[in-house]
Amino acid sequence: MLNKNSFIFVTGHRGLVGSSLLRRLKFYGYKNIIVKTKKELDLKNQNKVSNFFKKNKIDAVINAAGKVGGILANNRYKADFIYNNMSIQNNIIHSSFENNIKDLIFLGSSCIYPRDCKQPIKEKYLLTGTLEKTNEPYAIAKIAGIKMCESYNFQYKTNYKCLMPCNLYGPNDNYDLKTSHFFPALIIKALRAKKNKKNKLTLWGSGRPKRELMYVDDLADACIYFLIRKTKDSLINIGTGHDKSILEYAKFILKKIDFKCKIILDKSKPDGVQRKIIDNSIALSYGWKPKINLDEGFELTLKSYFSKSNK
């Protein structure tokens, strides 16, 4: 049984989710958190990962490592997305099994679900339709990870759980416009427009697609919550149950930073999926629920962004 002295290996600890996991695990009093940088441990290297697991005492694993990005990055680096993610998750999951680690959290994304599936999206909709082309390689890698965890649970009675969050934001996000997700991209575009006193803000696409957003610490709390619990479900959606259009998010950010300008919609750019809101009723049935609303989460995110940029 896991406790505050258990050794928990968190991969991807420098990213948005991984850094949040470190904050929240420390907040809850977990004393033995194991982390490794990319230079210290190449998670794509099977032998190195296998040896690392054999040499270290590890009671549980939360896999937050992987290659992630928005539409532009997913379209441009398809091979990188499928190879890197499958290599990392294969090594982590199999090494966990080989070393008798029963508790593991595998993180994916709501993009695993079919492009045109019914909304809100239930876990049972997985593999019932065609994927969105702009992020298909990433989605296929994550689906393979889910099926791998399910297969090990079935064959070896492990307790591996796959948490599928909606879009995330928060401290330590990626603000590079070439690789970022839509919300940090909107934030940086709006802040630059204000700083440079621009009279317009250009958005990709029609602005109509709707997205669900969750503050990253809510996902980190969900990981910890489900890591220490037995569940009959191995695939669990993690979300807020609320969504807005891209245009509404842009207007929200401009209002929050107290800046007025014209919003231009570049309809020559792709929209992606028109709506993506997940059904989080299974997660709620186990007693978990999100706590941080968009207003509070945005203020925390902005505070973190400015504290980093002023260093």
Catalytic positions are 138
Read off the DSSP letter of residue 310: T
The CA-based angle 125-244-303, given to 5 degrees, is: 115
Cα separation of 70 and 178, whole Å?
A: 8
Cα separation of 104 and 252, whole Å?
A: 37
- When computed from its CA atoms, the radius of gyration of the chain, rounded to whole angstroms, is 19
SS3 9: strand
Cα separation of 98 and 118, whole Å?
A: 38
Cα separation of 18 and 275, whole Å?
A: 27
Q: Which of 241, 243, 238 is nearest to 221 (CA)?
A: 238
CA distance readout (Å), 180 to 78, 84, 173, 188: 15, 17, 8, 10
